[in-house]
């Protein structure tokens, strides 16, 4: 669909990881992403940390593009893959390190309908052409409006089972329209440009698609497990 891969650094500043993405200092949403800070002395206002998501790459990509032509920045359509780190309890569904892939599209006239069409097509390519998709309203500081995307449970066909917790649906990713503050921080005039963004965890997608019940298998270095993929 025209997305180009853009990679960015894993060690980031607080400013790029949070502040430029509409997470001001002491914002309560930061509690969702407990962080590994690696340098703070002398940098209390902008410490160094391991990135908690690949979203800082959005700001870096937009700034690189807008620097080419500040008055008329070119449109962007990129995928941002990479490793992320969060200081949280390790369970069957969460790890302190994980992969993430984000998508970002910025240009003139981009709407939520473009976002829905892109993600519906992705879900059908990933889970089958008959996959049903639904969008639920949600909240992320860097998008407005925001949504979470579910795909109909492919184990029970939407009837309800243990895998989908009897809901008939499986959550696959989060998304939304890029917040005007984020566009402006990236060098794009929010009165002229719009954009959408989405993010997902490849391990979670693989867990759903192959009915893997523990994310820790990916980091256990069991060759018999890894060679299957």
DSSP labels, 103-171: EEEEETT--HHHHHHHHHHHHHHHH-TT--EEEEEEEETTEEEEEEEEEE-TTTTTS--TTTTTSSEEE
* Residue 32, both tokens: 């969702």
CA 203 to chain centre: 13
Is residue 79 within 8 A of residue 103, CB to CB? The reply is yes
Pairing type for strands 133-140 and 143-152 reads antiparallel
Q: For 75, list phi and psi in degrees, rounded to 5.
A: -65, 155
Q: Could you tell me which CATH class the domain 4-226 is placed in?
A: alpha beta
Chain centroid to Cα 115, Å, comes to 14
Give me the residue label for tokens 């002398």.
Answer: 42
Task: Please say whether the beta carbons of 164 and 171 come within 8 A.
Answer: no
List per-residue pLDDT tens for the chain, 229 residues long. 889 999 999 999 989 999 999 987 776 656 655 788 886 666 767 889 899 999 999 999 999 999 999 999 999 999 999 999 988 778 877 788 889 999 999 999 999 999 999 999 999 998 888 889 999 999 999 999 999 999 888 777 778 877 677 888 888 899 999 999 999 999 999 999 999 999 998 888 888 778 787 888 888 889 999 898 7
Radius of gyration of the chain from its Cα atoms, rounded to whole angstroms: 18
Residue 202 in 3-state DSSP? Answer: helix
Any idea what the Cα angle at residue 91 is, between residues 147 and 40, rounded to 5°? Answer: 80
Largest separation between any pair of C-alpha atoms in the chain: 56
| pTM: predicted TM-score of the whole model, two decimal places | 0.88
- The domains of the chain are located at 4-226
């Amino acid at each position: 669909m025209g997305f180009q891969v853009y990679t960015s650094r894993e060690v980031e500043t607080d400013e790029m990881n949070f502040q430029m993405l509409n997470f001001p200092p002491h914002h309560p949403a930061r509690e969702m992403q407990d962080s590994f800070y690696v340098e703070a002395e002398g940098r209390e206002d902008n410490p160094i940390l391991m990135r908690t998501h690949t979203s800082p790459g959005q700001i870096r990509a937009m700034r690189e593009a807008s620097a080419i032509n500040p008055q008329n920045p070119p449109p962007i359509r990129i995928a941002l893959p990479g490793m992320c780190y969060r200081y949280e309890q390790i369970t069957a569904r969460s790890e302190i390190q994980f992969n993430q892939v984000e998508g970002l599209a910025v240009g003139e006239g981009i709407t939520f309908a473009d976002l829905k069409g892109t993600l519906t097509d992705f879900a059908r390519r990933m889970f089958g052409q008959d996959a049903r998709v639904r969008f639920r309203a949600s909240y992320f500081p860097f998008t407005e409006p925001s949504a979470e995307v579910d795909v109909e449970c492919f184990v029970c066909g939407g009837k309800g089972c243990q895998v989908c917790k009897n809901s008939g649906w499986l959550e696959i990713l989060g998304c939304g329209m890029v917040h005007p503050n984020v566009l402006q921080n990236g060098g794009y005039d929010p009165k002229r440009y719009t954009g959408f963004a989405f993010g997902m965890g490849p391990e979670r997608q693989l867990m759903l698609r192959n009915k893997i019940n523990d994310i820790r298998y990916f980091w256990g270095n069991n060759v018999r497990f890894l060679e299957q993929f």
